[in-house]
Structure 1
Amino acid sequence: MSLSHASHSSPDNPPGTSASSAEPDVARSVIRQLRVIIRALQGHSRTVERACGISASQLWALWELQRTPGLNVSDLSRRLSVHASTTSNLLDKLEFRGLIERRRPEKDQRIVRLYVTDAGMELLDKAPAAPQGELNRALQSLPKGRLEELDQGLDLLVEAMNTTEPKAGLQPFDGKS
Protein backbone atom coordinates (compact mmCIF):
# COMPACT_ATOMS: atom_id res chain seq x y z
CA MET A 1 0.00 0.00 0.00
CA SER A 2 1.45 3.38 -0.92
CA LEU A 3 1.61 6.25 1.53
CA SER A 4 -0.80 8.26 -0.63
CA HIS A 5 -3.49 5.71 0.26
CA ALA A 6 -2.49 5.41 3.91
CA SER A 7 -5.36 7.50 5.25
CA HIS A 8 -8.11 5.57 3.43
CA SER A 9 -10.27 3.15 5.42
CA SER A 10 -9.74 -0.58 5.13
CA PRO A 11 -10.09 -3.54 7.48
CA ASP A 12 -6.42 -3.06 8.37
CA ASN A 13 -6.72 0.70 8.63
CA PRO A 14 -10.08 1.66 10.23
CA PRO A 15 -11.53 5.16 9.82
CA GLY A 16 -9.77 7.69 12.00
CA THR A 17 -6.44 5.88 11.92
CA SER A 18 -3.48 6.08 9.61
CA ALA A 19 -1.11 3.41 8.47
CA SER A 20 1.82 5.81 8.96
CA SER A 21 4.99 4.29 7.57
CA ALA A 22 4.23 0.70 8.65
CA GLU A 23 2.39 -1.55 6.21
CA PRO A 24 -0.49 -3.50 7.81
CA ASP A 25 1.18 -6.87 7.12
CA VAL A 26 4.34 -5.71 8.89
CA ALA A 27 2.32 -4.38 11.84
CA ARG A 28 0.51 -7.72 12.13
CA SER A 29 3.82 -9.53 12.01
CA VAL A 30 5.18 -7.36 14.84
CA ILE A 31 2.03 -8.01 16.89
CA ARG A 32 2.40 -11.76 16.37
CA GLN A 33 6.06 -11.64 17.36
CA LEU A 34 5.29 -9.63 20.50
CA ARG A 35 2.61 -12.19 21.40
CA VAL A 36 5.12 -15.02 20.97
CA ILE A 37 7.55 -13.25 23.31
CA ILE A 38 4.87 -12.44 25.92
CA ARG A 39 3.38 -15.92 25.85
CA ALA A 40 6.81 -17.51 26.12
CA LEU A 41 7.53 -15.35 29.18
CA GLN A 42 4.12 -16.16 30.68
CA GLY A 43 4.51 -19.88 30.10
CA HIS A 44 8.01 -19.92 31.49
CA SER A 45 6.88 -17.90 34.52
CA ARG A 46 4.17 -20.46 35.28
CA THR A 47 6.72 -23.25 34.91
CA VAL A 48 9.06 -21.47 37.35
CA GLU A 49 6.30 -21.03 39.94
CA ARG A 50 5.21 -24.68 39.67
CA ALA A 51 8.79 -25.96 39.88
CA CYS A 52 10.09 -23.64 42.58
CA GLY A 53 7.18 -22.14 44.47
CA ILE A 54 8.54 -18.64 43.94
CA SER A 55 7.89 -16.01 41.29
CA ALA A 56 10.03 -15.64 38.21
CA SER A 57 11.27 -12.27 39.51
CA GLN A 58 12.32 -13.83 42.79
CA LEU A 59 14.13 -16.58 40.91
CA TRP A 60 15.94 -14.05 38.75
CA ALA A 61 17.06 -12.19 41.89
CA LEU A 62 18.39 -15.45 43.33
CA TRP A 63 20.30 -16.17 40.12
CA GLU A 64 21.84 -12.70 40.22
CA LEU A 65 22.83 -13.07 43.87
CA GLN A 66 24.31 -16.50 43.23
CA ARG A 67 26.30 -15.07 40.32
CA THR A 68 27.57 -12.12 42.37
CA PRO A 69 27.34 -12.74 46.12
CA GLY A 70 27.37 -9.65 48.33
CA LEU A 71 25.44 -7.29 46.06
CA ASN A 72 23.60 -4.46 47.73
CA VAL A 73 19.97 -3.58 46.99
CA SER A 74 20.89 -0.81 44.54
CA ASP A 75 23.19 -3.10 42.55
CA LEU A 76 20.56 -5.82 42.41
CA SER A 77 17.89 -3.30 41.37
CA ARG A 78 20.04 -2.22 38.43
CA ARG A 79 20.60 -5.82 37.35
CA LEU A 80 16.88 -6.55 37.55
CA SER A 81 15.97 -3.20 35.95
CA VAL A 82 13.46 -2.45 38.69
CA HIS A 83 13.01 0.24 41.32
CA ALA A 84 14.88 -0.24 44.63
CA SER A 85 11.60 -0.39 46.60
CA THR A 86 10.39 -3.20 44.33
CA THR A 87 13.66 -5.04 44.92
CA SER A 88 13.37 -4.56 48.65
CA ASN A 89 9.85 -6.06 48.68
CA LEU A 90 11.06 -8.98 46.57
CA LEU A 91 13.96 -9.55 48.97
CA ASP A 92 11.62 -9.49 51.98
CA LYS A 93 9.74 -12.45 50.47
CA LEU A 94 12.93 -14.35 49.72
CA GLU A 95 14.29 -13.70 53.21
CA PHE A 96 11.00 -14.81 54.81
CA ARG A 97 11.32 -18.12 52.93
CA GLY A 98 14.92 -18.49 54.09
CA LEU A 99 16.35 -18.26 50.57
CA ILE A 100 18.53 -15.18 51.07
CA GLU A 101 20.13 -13.40 53.96
CA ARG A 102 21.09 -9.80 54.52
CA ARG A 103 24.41 -9.12 56.18
CA ARG A 104 25.96 -5.92 57.45
CA PRO A 105 29.67 -6.80 57.33
CA GLU A 106 31.07 -3.28 57.13
CA LYS A 107 31.59 -0.86 59.98
CA ASP A 108 28.82 1.23 58.46
CA GLN A 109 25.77 -0.80 59.49
CA ARG A 110 23.63 0.97 56.88
CA ILE A 111 25.33 -1.05 54.15
CA VAL A 112 23.54 -4.36 53.57
CA ARG A 113 25.02 -7.16 51.50
CA LEU A 114 22.85 -9.92 50.05
CA TYR A 115 23.65 -13.62 49.95
CA VAL A 116 21.86 -16.78 48.85
CA THR A 117 21.42 -19.26 51.72
CA ASP A 118 21.97 -23.02 51.48
CA ALA A 119 18.20 -23.43 50.99
CA GLY A 120 18.35 -20.88 48.17
CA MET A 121 21.25 -22.74 46.56
CA GLU A 122 19.27 -26.01 46.73
CA LEU A 123 16.34 -24.32 45.03
CA LEU A 124 18.62 -22.91 42.31
CA ASP A 125 20.10 -26.36 41.68
CA LYS A 126 16.69 -27.67 40.57
CA ALA A 127 15.24 -24.47 39.11
CA PRO A 128 14.75 -23.66 35.44
CA ALA A 129 16.24 -20.41 34.18
CA ALA A 130 14.21 -17.32 35.05
CA PRO A 131 12.29 -15.96 32.04
CA GLN A 132 13.81 -12.50 32.39
CA GLY A 133 17.22 -14.10 32.35
CA GLU A 134 16.31 -15.98 29.19
CA LEU A 135 15.05 -12.78 27.58
CA ASN A 136 18.21 -10.96 28.65
CA ARG A 137 20.36 -13.81 27.29
CA ALA A 138 18.53 -13.66 23.95
CA LEU A 139 18.87 -9.88 23.76
CA GLN A 140 22.57 -10.02 24.63
CA SER A 141 23.11 -12.57 21.87
CA LEU A 142 22.00 -10.06 19.23
CA PRO A 143 24.65 -8.07 17.37
CA LYS A 144 25.09 -4.66 19.02
CA GLY A 145 23.71 -2.75 16.03
CA ARG A 146 20.58 -4.91 15.90
CA LEU A 147 20.01 -4.52 19.64
CA GLU A 148 20.31 -0.74 19.30
CA GLU A 149 17.83 -0.78 16.37
CA LEU A 150 15.41 -2.85 18.44
CA ASP A 151 15.76 -0.44 21.37
CA GLN A 152 15.07 2.56 19.15
CA GLY A 153 12.08 0.85 17.54
CA LEU A 154 10.60 -0.11 20.90
CA ASP A 155 11.14 3.46 22.16
CA LEU A 156 9.07 4.70 19.21
CA LEU A 157 6.38 2.08 19.86
CA VAL A 158 6.09 2.96 23.56
CA GLU A 159 5.94 6.65 22.67
CA ALA A 160 3.23 6.05 20.06
CA MET A 161 1.14 4.09 22.56
CA ASN A 162 0.82 7.15 24.84
CA THR A 163 1.01 4.87 27.86
CA THR A 164 -0.42 6.04 31.15
CA GLU A 165 2.08 3.86 33.01
CA PRO A 166 5.48 5.51 32.48
CA LYS A 167 7.04 3.45 35.31
CA ALA A 168 5.78 0.10 34.02
CA GLY A 169 9.32 -0.71 32.87
CA LEU A 170 10.48 -0.59 36.49
CA GLN A 171 8.11 -3.37 37.56
CA PRO A 172 9.16 -6.98 37.25
CA PHE A 173 7.37 -9.23 34.80
CA ASP A 174 5.96 -12.32 36.49
CA GLY A 175 4.00 -13.59 33.51
CA LYS A 176 0.59 -12.94 34.98
CA SER A 177 -1.96 -11.59 32.58
Structure 2
Amino acid sequence: MSAVSAQNEPHRPATEGEPDLSRSVIRQLRVIIRALQGHSRAVERACGISASQLWALWELQRTPGLNVSDLSRRLSVHASTTSNLLDKLEYSGLVERRRPEKDQRIVRLYVTPKGEALLSDAPAAPQGELNRALHALPPERLADLDEGLTLLVEAMNTTEPRAGLQPFEVKT
Protein backbone atom coordinates (compact mmCIF):
# COMPACT_ATOMS: atom_id res chain seq x y z
CA MET A 1 0.00 0.00 0.00
CA SER A 2 1.37 3.43 -0.90
CA ALA A 3 1.79 6.21 1.63
CA VAL A 4 -0.78 8.28 -0.24
CA SER A 5 -3.47 5.58 -0.10
CA ALA A 6 -2.62 4.96 3.56
CA GLN A 7 -3.60 8.54 4.36
CA ASN A 8 -7.26 7.70 3.72
CA GLU A 9 -7.29 4.98 6.34
CA PRO A 10 -8.13 5.92 9.91
CA HIS A 11 -5.17 6.11 12.28
CA ARG A 12 -4.73 2.81 14.07
CA PRO A 13 -3.74 3.40 17.68
CA ALA A 14 -0.88 1.35 19.02
CA THR A 15 -1.84 -1.87 20.73
CA GLU A 16 -0.64 -2.62 24.23
CA GLY A 17 3.09 -3.30 24.21
CA GLU A 18 3.51 -1.94 20.66
CA PRO A 19 5.27 1.42 20.39
CA ASP A 20 3.37 4.16 18.62
CA LEU A 21 5.98 5.02 16.02
CA SER A 22 4.03 7.96 14.64
CA ARG A 23 4.13 9.59 18.07
CA SER A 24 7.88 9.01 18.24
CA VAL A 25 8.38 10.53 14.77
CA ILE A 26 6.30 13.58 15.71
CA ARG A 27 8.36 14.00 18.86
CA GLN A 28 11.63 13.78 16.88
CA LEU A 29 10.38 16.32 14.33
CA ARG A 30 9.45 18.67 17.17
CA VAL A 31 12.94 18.33 18.66
CA ILE A 32 14.45 19.28 15.29
CA ILE A 33 12.07 22.21 14.79
CA ARG A 34 12.64 23.52 18.32
CA ALA A 35 16.41 23.25 17.93
CA LEU A 36 16.26 25.22 14.67
CA GLN A 37 13.93 27.82 16.21
CA GLY A 38 16.15 28.18 19.28
CA HIS A 39 19.21 28.66 17.11
CA SER A 40 17.32 31.20 15.00
CA ARG A 41 16.45 33.21 18.12
CA ALA A 42 20.10 33.09 19.22
CA VAL A 43 21.18 34.37 15.80
CA GLU A 44 18.71 37.26 16.04
CA ARG A 45 19.94 38.19 19.52
CA ALA A 46 23.59 38.01 18.45
CA CYS A 47 23.30 39.76 15.08
CA GLY A 48 20.09 41.76 15.09
CA ILE A 49 18.92 40.04 11.89
CA SER A 50 16.97 36.84 11.26
CA ALA A 51 18.64 33.53 10.51
CA SER A 52 17.15 33.70 7.00
CA GLN A 53 18.75 37.09 6.45
CA LEU A 54 22.05 35.78 7.78
CA TRP A 55 21.89 32.80 5.44
CA ALA A 56 21.26 35.16 2.50
CA LEU A 57 24.29 37.25 3.50
CA TRP A 58 26.46 34.14 3.65
CA GLU A 59 25.30 33.04 0.21
CA LEU A 60 26.08 36.49 -1.21
CA GLN A 61 29.47 36.56 0.48
CA ARG A 62 30.26 33.13 -0.93
CA THR A 63 29.11 34.09 -4.45
CA PRO A 64 29.07 37.87 -4.95
CA GLY A 65 26.92 39.17 -7.78
CA LEU A 66 24.08 36.66 -7.59
CA ASN A 67 20.71 37.78 -8.90
CA VAL A 68 17.45 37.36 -6.97
CA SER A 69 16.52 34.13 -8.78
CA ASP A 70 19.89 32.54 -8.05
CA LEU A 71 19.70 33.53 -4.39
CA SER A 72 16.12 32.22 -4.15
CA ARG A 73 17.23 28.81 -5.40
CA ARG A 74 20.07 28.70 -2.89
CA LEU A 75 17.72 29.62 -0.04
CA SER A 76 14.94 27.31 -1.33
CA VAL A 77 12.35 30.08 -1.12
CA HIS A 78 10.13 31.90 -3.60
CA ALA A 79 11.61 34.93 -5.40
CA SER A 80 9.07 37.27 -3.76
CA THR A 81 10.22 36.07 -0.33
CA THR A 82 13.84 36.68 -1.31
CA SER A 83 12.97 40.14 -2.60
CA ASN A 84 11.30 41.07 0.71
CA LEU A 85 14.27 39.71 2.64
CA LEU A 86 16.67 41.73 0.45
CA ASP A 87 14.63 44.92 0.96
CA LYS A 88 15.25 44.60 4.71
CA LEU A 89 18.95 43.82 4.27
CA GLU A 90 19.38 46.74 1.89
CA TYR A 91 17.52 49.10 4.23
CA SER A 92 19.88 47.99 7.03
CA GLY A 93 22.89 48.75 4.84
CA LEU A 94 24.04 45.12 4.71
CA VAL A 95 23.42 44.43 1.02
CA GLU A 96 23.48 46.54 -2.10
CA ARG A 97 21.88 46.02 -5.47
CA ARG A 98 23.90 46.98 -8.54
CA ARG A 99 22.89 47.18 -12.19
CA PRO A 100 25.65 46.45 -14.71
CA GLU A 101 26.17 49.22 -17.26
CA LYS A 102 25.72 46.77 -20.14
CA ASP A 103 22.21 45.67 -19.16
CA GLN A 104 20.22 47.78 -16.69
CA ARG A 105 17.53 45.08 -16.46
CA ILE A 106 19.87 42.83 -14.49
CA VAL A 107 20.32 43.39 -10.75
CA ARG A 108 23.36 41.91 -9.01
CA LEU A 109 23.58 41.55 -5.23
CA TYR A 110 26.60 42.29 -3.04
CA VAL A 111 27.38 42.31 0.67
CA THR A 112 28.42 45.78 1.87
CA PRO A 113 31.37 46.41 4.22
CA LYS A 114 28.82 46.70 7.05
CA GLY A 115 27.44 43.29 6.05
CA GLU A 116 30.96 41.83 5.93
CA ALA A 117 31.61 43.13 9.46
CA LEU A 118 28.40 41.52 10.70
CA LEU A 119 29.34 38.21 9.07
CA SER A 120 32.77 38.18 10.68
CA ASP A 121 31.14 37.99 14.14
CA ALA A 122 28.04 35.96 13.23
CA PRO A 123 27.19 32.54 14.69
CA ALA A 124 26.46 29.62 12.37
CA ALA A 125 23.10 29.66 10.62
CA PRO A 126 20.59 26.99 11.69
CA GLN A 127 20.49 25.68 8.15
CA GLY A 128 24.22 25.11 8.45
CA GLU A 129 23.73 23.11 11.64
CA LEU A 130 21.06 20.95 10.00
CA ASN A 131 23.26 20.51 6.93
CA ARG A 132 26.20 19.52 9.15
CA ALA A 133 24.06 16.93 10.95
CA LEU A 134 22.74 15.50 7.68
CA HIS A 135 26.26 15.17 6.28
CA ALA A 136 27.33 13.37 9.46
CA LEU A 137 24.88 10.54 8.69
CA PRO A 138 26.14 7.51 6.79
CA PRO A 139 25.03 7.78 3.13
CA GLU A 140 22.64 4.82 3.40
CA ARG A 141 20.91 6.37 6.46
CA LEU A 142 20.62 9.73 4.68
CA ALA A 143 19.03 7.93 1.72
CA ASP A 144 16.59 6.18 4.10
CA LEU A 145 15.72 9.52 5.71
CA ASP A 146 15.16 11.12 2.31
CA GLU A 147 12.90 8.25 1.26
CA GLY A 148 10.93 8.42 4.50
CA LEU A 149 10.48 12.19 4.30
CA THR A 150 9.40 11.89 0.66
CA LEU A 151 6.71 9.40 1.70
CA LEU A 152 5.62 11.72 4.52
CA VAL A 153 5.32 14.67 2.14
CA GLU A 154 3.28 12.54 -0.26
CA ALA A 155 1.01 11.35 2.56
CA MET A 156 0.41 14.98 3.57
CA ASN A 157 -0.81 15.79 0.03
CA THR A 158 1.99 18.33 -0.37
CA THR A 159 3.40 16.73 -3.48
CA GLU A 160 3.40 20.02 -5.42
CA PRO A 161 7.06 20.23 -6.50
CA ARG A 162 7.30 23.92 -5.56
CA ALA A 163 5.43 23.61 -2.23
CA GLY A 164 8.65 24.24 -0.32
CA LEU A 165 9.16 27.43 -2.29
CA GLN A 166 5.85 29.09 -1.48
CA PRO A 167 6.17 32.63 -0.09
CA PHE A 168 6.21 32.97 3.66
CA GLU A 169 6.56 35.89 6.01
CA VAL A 170 10.20 36.69 6.76
CA LYS A 171 10.87 37.87 10.31
CA THR A 172 12.89 41.03 10.75
Residue among 11, 31, 54 paired with 1:17 = 11
Partner of 2:99 in structure 1? 104
Asked whether the 8 Å contact 1:45–1:174 carries over to 2, the reply is no
Partner of 1:114 in structure 2? 109
Residue among 130, 138, 141 paired with 1:135 = 130
**Cα gap change, 1:42 to 1:33, in 2 (>3 Å):** same
Identity %: 82
TM-score for the superposition, normalised by structure 2: 0.79
Relative contact order, higher structure (CA 8 A, sep 6+):
2
Structure 2 gaps, min length 5: 1-9
Asked whether the 8 Å contact 1:55–1:174 carries over to 2, the reply is no
TM-score for the superposition, normalised by structure 1: 0.77
- Deviation of 1:168 after TM superposition, in Å, equals 5.4
- Deviation of 1:175 after TM superposition, in Å, equals 10
SS in structure 2 of the partner of residue 114 of structure 1: strand
- Deviation of 1:172 after TM superposition, in Å, equals 8.0
Alignment length (residue pairs): 160
2-structure distance, mates of 1:106, 1:175: 31
Alignment of 1:72-83 (within 5 A): 72-83=67-78
Name whichever of 137-146 and 64-73 sits farther off: 137-146
SS in structure 2 of the partner of residue 101 of structure 1: strand
Partner of 1:154 in structure 2? 149
The letter of the residue matching 2:148 is G
The letter of the residue matching 2:11 is T
2-structure distance, mates of 1:128, 1:174: 23
Structure 1 gaps, min length 5: 1-15
